[in-house]
Structure 1
Amino acid sequence: MPEGPSIVIMREEAAGFAGRTIKHASGNTKAVDFDALAGQQVLAVRSWGKHFLIRLPDLALRIHLLMFGSYRINERKDGAEPRLSLGFDDGQEFNFYTCSVKTLPPDLDTQYDWCADVMSDEWDPKLALKKLRAQPDMLVCDATLDQEIFSGAGNIFKNEVLFRIRVHPLSTVGALPAAKLRELVEQMRVYAFDFLRWKKAFELKKHWLAHTKRICPRCDIPFQKAHLGKTRRRSFFCAKCQKQYPPALVKPARSDSKLRSQRTPPAS
């Protein structure tokens, strides 16, 4: 699933469509009235997390690329029908494939909390901390994927950031020390822009330290791999250098003497 930085790149590539007028629209989505789009001018292209947004005078279009979605500008994908195709008055076109398309009211500011987007200029780390502290029992592997807290973050973020800050994915938010919780919020933002820079340079995978990796580069031992949390997304982590908060509780085995003392009645 494309994560927030990839949608920012999409937004930047589509910026030139702002100000242009849709001449015709088509596709296999049933969520859009194609005739209603014709003649509407693109007022802005925006993004919120994993949502790509096209603002028009009468409505807005929300594109979510889901797991395998893609887009093409001024070209078509061979052998595939677009979910939505927008043709413009200057002959250019914007095509979306294997994605979710939805119409929204045009006033996006009343529908989106831009402060939750880790890549937004309006990102508010204090608000993210407040949201985390309100859910102390949440696992950090779920918290890093919560779009209401870290809009735009995905599974790569989760694995890489938790490895960076040496936190086990099954830690609970409320058990993290205050400094470690602040570090989590800070690094989610930092990693977002590292991701963006590496993605633009076509070298993102080269910088992965944990995601899909087999050996911990710090400890030189095999990574653990599991589908954890409510989301059951793949987690890659080191059982040695990523501390679990609170520590996993292992019930100690009772000694033979204790067992005997419990089974043998005291002498009269």
Structure 2
Amino acid sequence: MPEGDTVFLTAARLRRALVGKTLVRSDFRVPRYATVDLVGERVDEVGSYGKHLFIRTPRVSIHTHLKMEGIWRTYCVGERWTRPRVTARLVLATDDTEAVGFSLGKVEAVPRAQEHLVIDHLGPDLLGPNWDPAVAVERLQRSPDQAIGVALLDQRNLAGIGNVFRSEVCFLRRVHPATPVRDVPDLLALVNEAHRILSEAAHSPPRRELVYGRQRRPCQRCGTAITVRPLADTTPASDRITQHERGIYFCPRCQPPPG
């Protein structure tokens, strides 16, 4: 699943392509919004919050979430699309540009005044202008017995981390991903590390992963083979994060298990 840096960079690309321009076509290929017509609307802003992306006109905020397979592409008008047309779920066109959202996990059009309802439940955005590490720490501490590797994926704690960055953060802080939140030696330092590496990925791409995807390859600190394991979620079923049992990568020597 794309993480906060990917959505941040996607927003920047769409901002360059759309902001200040008037829509000459809007095609919502989802039943609930199929009749929405934004022709004549000017694109004021494009922004992101965690893994959520917003394209804003004066009256409507177009909210999309990439989920597992979604992607945005921009084309010159008349240019051939590089993805199957049947997978397009949203098309926004100006006089010279087509922005196409393929395989988007979520598409909705909400009144600008109600946009906040989409993200009110989320923790602070790691890449946002109002990032507050103290709030992220406080939210993580609400579930002290939860494994830190699971807690980092919960967007209600801090928004923008996915499977790649939870592995990287735990490795850099030498914390085993199964360590309960209450036993993490320096939770603020871990949160600041998350902010640092996500910012690095967003502002100076590409970033080379240290442990993610390196199963059985040597740890770059000690040479021990990197391990990948599923990390069970103990939160109630109604609150579980989609794909919460995806493998998390760690070094069994640099990140000894709790207890």
TM-score, structure 1 length as denominator? 0.82
The reply to whether residue 240 of structure 1 matches residue 253 of structure 2 is: yes
* Aligned-partner SS, 1:85: strand
> Which string of whole-angstrom CA distances, capped at 9 and with x for unpartnered residues, describes residues 139-195 of structure 1?
101111111222111111011110000000100001223xx2111111010011122
Aligned pair in 2 of structure 1 residues 47, 78: CA closer, same or farther (>3 Å)? closer
Say if 2:83 and 2:102, in contact at 8 Å, map to a contact too. no
- How far residue 233 of structure 1 moved from its aligned partner, in angstroms, is 1.5
2:45 counterpart residue number: 44
Q: Distance in 1 between matches of 2:135 and 2:53?
A: 23
1:218-257 matched pairs, under 5 angstroms: 218-230=221-233, 231-245=244-258, 247=259
Say if 2:123 and 2:156, in contact at 8 Å, map to a contact too. no
1:55 counterpart residue number: 56
Aligned pair in 2 of structure 1 residues 72, 111: CA closer, same or farther (>3 Å)? closer
- How far residue 241 of structure 1 moved from its aligned partner, in angstroms, is 1.2
Structure 1 residue corresponding to 2:133, chosen from 103, 109, 125? 125
1:147 counterpart residue number: 155
Q: Distance in 1 between matches of 2:2 and 2:204?
A: 14
Paired amino acid for 1:238: C
* Aligned-partner SS, 1:241: coil
- How far residue 80 of structure 1 moved from its aligned partner, in angstroms, is 2.7
Structure 2 residue corresponding to 1:188, chosen from 188, 191, 194? 194
1:11-30 matched pairs, under 5 angstroms: 11-16=11-16, 17-30=18-31
Q: Distance in 1 between matches of 2:118 and 2:51?
A: 15
- How far residue 61 of structure 1 moved from its aligned partner, in angstroms, is 1.0
Q: Distance in 2 between matches of 1:139 and 1:52?
A: 28
Paired amino acid for 2:199: F
> Which string of whole-angstrom CA distances, capped at 9 and with x for unpartnered residues, describes residues 188-210 of structure 1?
100111222453xxx43xx2110
TM-score, structure 2 length as denominator? 0.85
The reply to whether residue 216 of structure 1 matches residue 232 of structure 2 is: no
* Aligned-partner SS, 1:83: strand
Structure 2 residue corresponding to 1:85, chosen from 75, 91, 94? 91
Q: Distance in 2 between matches of 1:91 and 1:198?
A: 29
Structure possessing the higher radius of gyration over alpha carbons: 1
Say if 1:223 and 1:237, in contact at 8 Å, map to a contact too. yes
- How far residue 11 of structure 1 moved from its aligned partner, in angstroms, is 1.2
Judge which range, 102-111 or 235-244, deviates more. 102-111
The reply to whether residue 97 of structure 1 matches residue 102 of structure 2 is: yes
* Aligned-partner SS, 1:22: coil
1:159 counterpart residue number: 167
Paired amino acid for 2:178: L
In structure 2, the gaps of 5 or more residues are 234-243
Q: Distance in 2 between matches of 1:6 and 1:137?
A: 30
Say if 1:71 and 1:96, in contact at 8 Å, map to a contact too. yes
Q: How many matched pairs?
A: 238
2:241 counterpart residue number: none
Say if 2:123 and 2:139, in contact at 8 Å, map to a contact too. no
- How far residue 136 of structure 1 moved from its aligned partner, in angstroms, is 0.3
In structure 1, the gaps of 5 or more residues are 248-268
Say if 1:8 and 1:47, in contact at 8 Å, map to a contact too. yes
Paired amino acid for 2:253: K
1:72 counterpart residue number: 73
- How far residue 123 of structure 1 moved from its aligned partner, in angstroms, is 0.4
Paired amino acid for 1:153: I
Q: Distance in 1 between matches of 2:220 and 2:5?
A: 25
- How far residue 118 of structure 1 moved from its aligned partner, in angstroms, is 0.2
Paired amino acid for 2:66: L
Say if 2:137 and 2:188, in contact at 8 Å, map to a contact too. yes
